[in-house]
Amino acid sequence: MVIFNKLKSAVRIFFLLTALTSNGSWGVYYVFSGKNHDEFIGCLDCEHYSQSSVCNKFGPFGNEFSPTSMFNSRSEYGNILSVKSPWQNIGFDPRSGTPVLVDDKGNYFGYWTIDINIPGAFINASALAENYKDANGNLLLMRDMLCNQGVYTK
C-alpha cells in the first residue's frame, strides 16, 4: 500500500508540472509571495543544489530552519496559518500574499497553493493538495516528494 501511495503521488506531481506548458517543454518556475508578490521564496525546478532551489536542503529556500523556506513550519512561508504560505487552506483573500507561480519568461500560472477554492489557483492545485494530504502536512516529506522523485531535479 505504501508503494502504491508513493506511485500515486509521483503521478500527481508529474501531471502537476506538465500542466504548466501545453507543448511539454520545461522552463524555470519561481514562487513569489507577499502582498505585492515581490518576496522570492524559491525556484521549483532549478538545479537541485542551486541556492535558489526549493530542493536544496541547505539553501535558504529548501532548508527546514530557514525563515525564507516554505518547508519551515515556523516561517511565514511555511506556517499553515500564514497567508504567505502555500500550505494555508483557510480561505484568505489571495491578494493578501498567497504565493504565485511564474516562469522565467514572466508568464503567470496562478496561485501556488493547496487551497483549491481560491479563484485563480494554479491549474493543478488539487494535485498539490492531494500530495500535501498524503504527506499528512509533513513539510519535509512534502519537499522530498516534490524534489526526490525526479520531477524537479536536473
Cα→Cα distances 36→32, 112, 127, Å: 9, 15, 26
Burial class of residue 64 in the structure, from the number of CB atoms within 10 Å of its CB (0-12 exposed, 13-18 middle, 19+ buried): middle
* Contact of 140 with 128, CB cutoff 8 Å: no
For residue range 50-74, list pLDDT tens digits in order: 999 999 999 999 999 999 999 999 9
What pLDDT sits at residue 123? 87
Residues in the chain: 154
**pLDDT, block means (10 residues), the chain with 154 residues:** 47 49 64 95 92 96 97 97 92 84 92 91 90 94 81 37
Dig out the grid coordinates for 28 from the structure.
524555470
What pLDDT sits at residue 17? 52
What pLDDT sits at residue 7? 45
Kindly report whether the global pTM for this prediction surpasses the value 0.85.
no
Domains of the chain, by residue range, sit at 2-9+27-147
What pLDDT sits at residue 34? 93
